[in-house]
């Protein structure tokens, strides 16, 4: 089935509505930043929230860090919705003259790793002091 989907910056009202429907999201979305929504008619079916910051390393450049990306409606996953939101944030990052777009995903999250791989992000697994791998930082150089 084909859906008429819109990917765009979300409004404050849409953000508040999402937080009311899914209270846990307040742990990953803050004020400001870049809030992108995937909408089918009046329904937010997916969202991304990212923020701009100085890269926490001595390079004097900015990055856009994606704190969360989710396709809420599981029946709509694996159809490129998240990839479209990533394309949208990459465009914004270019306009913002950021050096890179980055995110972190837990090591057990196969769909997320596949998503970053498909969108040409580098995958940098993070090794903990005990030798275990906790997750991967993923980066896209603009």
Ligand X SMILES: CC(C)(COP(=O)(O)OP(=O)(O)OC[C@H]1O[C@@H](n2cnc3c(N)ncnc32)[C@H](O)[C@@H]1OP(=O)(O)O)[C@@H](O)C(=O)NCCC(=O)NCCS
Residues lying near ligand X in the complex (CB under 6 A) are found at 68-71, 77-83, 105, 109-112, 114-115, 118
Residue 63 dihedral angles phi and psi, to the nearest 5°: -135, 160
101, with CB counted inside 10 A (0-12, 13-18, 19+), is: buried
Q: Which is nearer to ligand X, 33 or 80 (CB)?
A: 80
Cα-based distances in Å from 132 to 2, 103, 118, 125? 42, 19, 25, 10
Minimum distance from residue 99 beta carbon to ligand X (Å)? 21
Q: Which is nearer to ligand X, 83 or 130 (CB)?
A: 83
Minimum distance from residue 36 beta carbon to ligand X (Å)? 12
Q: Which is nearer to ligand X, 8 or 114 (CB)?
A: 114
């Amino acid at each position: 089935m084909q859906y008429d989907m819109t990917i765009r910056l979300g409004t404050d009202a849409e953000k508040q509505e999402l937080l009311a429907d899914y209270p846990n999201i307040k742990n990953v979305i803050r004020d400001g930043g870049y809030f992108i929504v995937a909408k089918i008619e009046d329904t937010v079916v997916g969202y991304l929230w990212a923020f701009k910051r100085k890269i926490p390393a001595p390079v004097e450049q900015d990055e856009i860090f994606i704190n969360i990306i989710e396709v809420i409606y599981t029946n709509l996953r694996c159809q490129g919705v998240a990839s479209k939101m990533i394309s949208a944030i990459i465009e914004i990052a270019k306009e913002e003259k950021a050096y890179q777009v980055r995110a972190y995903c837990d090591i057990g999250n196969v769909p997320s790793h596949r998503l970053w791989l498909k969108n040409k992000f580098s995958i940098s697994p993070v090794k903990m002091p005990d030798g275990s791998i906790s997750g991967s930082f993923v980066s896209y150089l603009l």
